[in-house]
Structure 1
Amino acid sequence: MTARETSGSAGAAPGPAPDPESALARLADRHAAGYRSVGTMAYDIIRDAILDGTLPPGHKLRQETLAELIGVSRLPVRSALIQLEADGLVEFHDRRGAVVKSLSVAQAREVYQLRILLETEALRLSMAEMTDERLERLRELGRVADEEQEGAGFIDARTEFYAELYDAARHPIQWELIEQLRLKVGRYMLGWRLVGNDGHRHSHGELTDAVGAGDVGPAVELLRHHLEGVRDGVLAMLEAEPLTGAQPAARRRRGGS
């Protein structure tokens, strides 16, 4: 899976890269209503901005600027950045302050090696305890995830699907480890969809059908094949255009898992 779906029209000339601060201000406006805690709001806005590429890897996160754009004081922004550091999306440097975390090819390869080991075992355990009710829930979540095209809705739908697939309620520590690994390589790639050179795109429904058939071997191999394909696509992208703050926003595409 080395190709990526474009989010614009084929052949269209790329426009100028959007200013991250302007894009963040628009994102903050969409989040402004419905929050009881300014800390939660600041965290959600900055996290979404990192995951959808508004704030690309390597981008310096100035607390004063973020606070002004979001419309809060520096304290909730500082707390949000500390939480995002724990999530693996932000890192602090002595001289540069907080920046969106970048990822090397070697790190990405190691993350996917661990993901394949952990997630295939998680699927084996989950299938041994599968019920008709959980399978039906999984089918519905798979339909929702396949209908979502990109962005925060796609990320949320996919997270719910895999939480059910791996039986997160029964195995919370295992699920926490899986999510941490996904976030380490995710960045704004979490909102991308990778497609193969043959045009095939991973279907959550396809995986659900394999689980529903009850044969562990083929289901595990399908999951392994998907993770290996995503790994190869991510590595190809990192080698071709390293994830740094200098990457033009116009070149970002959607895909991934």
Structure 2
Amino acid sequence: MSERETRTAGASAPSAEALQKLAGRHQAGYRSVGTMAYDILRDAILDGTLAPGQKLRQETLAETIGVSRLPVRSALIQLEADGLVEFHARRGAVVKALSAEQAREVYDIRVLLEIDALRHSMDEMTPERIARLRELGRTADAEEEGADFVDARTQFYAELYGAAARPVHWEMIEQLRLKVGRYVLGWRLVGGGEHGHSHEELVAAVEAGDADAAAEVLRSHLTGVRDAVLAMLSAEGGAAAR
């Protein structure tokens, strides 16, 4: 086996190929190699290219995406802070897996934080923001896969919750959203069709100024996605046991 083959043996061929495609998408327009490495690895985790429990060998990742080890290590440390990666004393970095109990806890906290953010944001809602929400909602519904879908959702909810006015509140929400992002994306890909309708219904309630109705739509949406995520985690557990 060649030196290159030895270094890349820790990742499957499909993973390496998918990572190289992500790297190609991200190579233009970056002033920081570290930011590029972080975005590539985050997207690879969110879209399932790097699966829960998969080892993340720095040398392999650096060679695959075409950077040195230092920005990869920095990216992995940042991803650990995001809750997407964890470091083990002997195994090194791995993609962090989520338990059903952790997923339930994430959604319990999200319901509280996001409904509170929604109510505050509605107090300051304008016709211009409503129009922007409708546009962002249509964009999110049009995206069916990959990091573009995750980014479109993020923009919609950042506007909905008034992220610019309450950056700390938004940062807490976004940290929790990242923890389950790859499962939400998987649910979307296998047919979570109610997601698109919730955008329209939610914007309509916000436009009507009915905070209680909007909060109920949001609560229903989050619990529906929670149940789909739990079903995916259960399926993953069953597959691992066979």
Q: TM-score, normalised by structure 1?
A: 0.83
Equivalent residue for 2:118, pick from 115, 118, 123: 123
Q: What CA deviation, in whole Å up to 9, does each residue of 1:6-29 have, x standing for no partner?
A: xxxxxxxxxxx9621222122222
Cα distance in 1 between the residues matched to 2:64 and 2:15: 11
2:221 match? 226
1:51 match? 46
Shift of 1:191: 5.7
Shift of 1:195: 5.1
1:21 match? 16
2:100 match? 105
Cα distance in 1 between the residues matched to 2:191 and 2:211: 25
Cα distance in 2 between the residues matched to 1:243 and 1:79: 34
* Structure 1, unpaired ranges of 5+: 1-16, 248-257
Cα gap change, 1:200 to 1:181, in 2 (>3 Å) = closer
Q: Percent identity?
A: 72
Within a 5 Å distance, the mapping from 1:1-257 to structure 2 comes to: 19-187=14-182, 189-190=184-185, 192-193=187-188, 200-203=194-197, 204-242=199-237
Shift of 1:172: 0.8
Counterpart AA for 1:72: V
Shift of 1:66: 0.5
Counterpart AA for 2:162: D
Shift of 1:209: 1.1
Cα distance in 2 between the residues matched to 1:214 and 1:23: 44
User: Tell me, what secondary structure is at the counterpart of 1:169?
Assistant: coil
Shift of 1:87: 1.0
Q: Is 145-154 or 170-179 further displaced after alignment?
A: 145-154
Cα distance in 1 between the residues matched to 2:132 and 2:20: 36
Taking only aligned residues, the RMSD between alpha carbons, in angstroms, comes to: 2.1
Counterpart AA for 1:164: E
Cα gap change, 1:116 to 1:189, in 2 (>3 Å) = same
Count of matched residue positions in the alignment of Structure 1 and Structure 2: 228
Q: What CA deviation, in whole Å up to 9, does each residue of 1:106-125 have, x standing for no partner?
A: 00001001111111111111
Cα distance in 1 between the residues matched to 2:165 and 2:137: 20
1:211–1:219 CA contact under 8 A, matched in 2: yes
1:207–1:223 CA contact under 8 A, matched in 2: yes
Q: What CA deviation, in whole Å up to 9, does each residue of 1:79-110 have, x standing for no partner?
A: 11011111111110001000001000000001
Cα distance in 1 between the residues matched to 2:161 and 2:195: 21
Shift of 1:150: 1.6
Q: What CA deviation, in whole Å up to 9, does each residue of 1:120-156 have, x standing for no partner?
A: 1111111111111211111111111111112111111
2:58–2:72 CA contact under 8 A, matched in 1: yes
Shift of 1:240: 2.1
2:184–2:225 CA contact under 8 A, matched in 1: no
1:42–1:77 CA contact under 8 A, matched in 2: yes
Cα distance in 2 between the residues matched to 1:73 and 1:243: 38
Cα distance in 2 between the residues matched to 1:18 and 1:189: 25
Greater per-residue helix proportion: 2
* Structure 2, unpaired ranges of 5+: 1-11
Higher relative contact order (CA 8 A, sep 6+): 1
